[in-house]
């Protein structure tokens, strides 16, 4: 069963706190993604990972960093969260290129107070 | 600027009618085009995709039309049903250097009324 999981599903943090969002996939996909979705803006790419320790900035990387130490796990880290990072965060994975189907996780709702 | 744009934030169609969702893109190097469907509080799932070497692809009630010269593609849903009510996200990408990046539009909320 092809699956992308995200933990936690819901998170409330105070401004300045650190945030760790975790993503896992069981399909041995090479490529993984972190997006955020905000009303009227669709899905915006934060970071893309082509494989272990092979990460590239997406369109809105500022304020975020990522870690991929195992092919099946991809973490998104917010050092000192800001209120404008309140959003829904989606992780996705694909076999390799952008012409392969992206499978999305269920999303994490982050509220930064 | 927005490289992939869905100009209509919302669309309402009567049950049984044809839903037409539109997407415009800027980068003429894009060669892969896709539509994803998203229910509220759920994750996006791929509906249908097409590569730039074809102008049209059908899959059941879904048809994607690609107009490369106009940098435009659309999704037609025939015999629209209430369960088609969802947000539809278009996406496009190029394959230079094995790129894995897809650019998503803002989404169009389709409501099929019975």
Residue span of the structural domain in which A26 resides: 4-112
B110 pLDDT higher than 60? yes
What lies within 8 Å, CB to CB, of B23 at 6+ separation is B4, B5, B6, B33, B35, B72, B73, B74, B75, B90, B92, B105
Angle B36-B40-B45 (CA atoms, 0-180°, nearest 5)? 25
B2 pLDDT higher than 80? no
The domain total for chain B is 1
What lies within 8 Å, CB to CB, of B100 at 6+ separation is A31, A33, A48, A50, A94, A96, A97, A98
Interchain proximity A96–B98, CB inside 8 Å: yes
Residue span of the structural domain in which B22 resides: 4-113
pLDDT in tens, A30-83: 999 999 999 888 899 999 999 999 999 999 999 999 999 999 999 999 999 999
A2 and chain B in contact, CB less than 8 A: no
In this prediction, what percent of chain A has a pLDDT beyond 70? 99
Q: What is the CATH number of the domain that holds B88?
A: 2.60.40.10
Query: Among all residues of chain B, which has the CA nearest to that of A88?
Result: B41
Q: What is the CATH number of the domain that holds A94?
A: 2.60.40.10
- On the CB side of B106, CA atoms within 13 Å amount to 13
CA distance A102 to chain B (A): 7
Q: Do residues A86 and A21 lie in contact, with contact meaning Cβ atoms separated by under 8 Å?
A: no
**Nearest neighbour of B100 by CB, restricted to A90, A98, A107:** A98
Q: How far apart are CA B31 and CA B93, in angstroms?
A: 6
CA distance B55 to chain A (A): 17
pLDDT in tens, B33-43: 999 999 988 99
Interchain proximity B107–A99, CB inside 8 Å: no
């Amino acid at each position: 069963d092809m699956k992308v999981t995200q933990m936690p599903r819901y998170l409330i943090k105070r401004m300045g706190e650190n945030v760790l969002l975790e993503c896992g996939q069981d399909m041995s996909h090479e490529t993984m993604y972190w997006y955020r979705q905000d009303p009227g803006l669709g899905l915006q790419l934060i970071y893309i990972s082509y494989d272990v320790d092979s990460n590239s900035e997406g369109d809105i990387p500022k304020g975020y960093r990522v870690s991929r130490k195992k092919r099946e796990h991809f973490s998104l880290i917010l050092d000192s969260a800001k209120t404008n990072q309140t959003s829904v965060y989606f992780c996705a994975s694909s076999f390799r290129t952008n012409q392969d189907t992206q499978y999305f996780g269920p999303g994490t709702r982050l509220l930064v107070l | 600027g927005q490289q992939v744009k869905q100009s209509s934030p919302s669309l309402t169609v009567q049950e049984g009618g044809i839903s037409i969702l539109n997407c415009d893109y800027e980068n003429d190097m894009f060669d892969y085009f896709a539509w994803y469907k998203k229910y509220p509080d759920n994750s996006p799932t791929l509906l249908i995709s097409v590569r730039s070497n074809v102008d049209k692809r059908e899959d059941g009630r879904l048809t994607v039309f690609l107009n490369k010269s106009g940098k435009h593609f659309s999704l037609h849903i025939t015999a629209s049903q209430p369960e088609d009510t969802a947000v539809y996200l278009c996406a496009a990408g190029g394959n230079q250097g094995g790129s894995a990046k897809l650019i998503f539009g803002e989404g169009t909320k389709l409501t099929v009324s019975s």
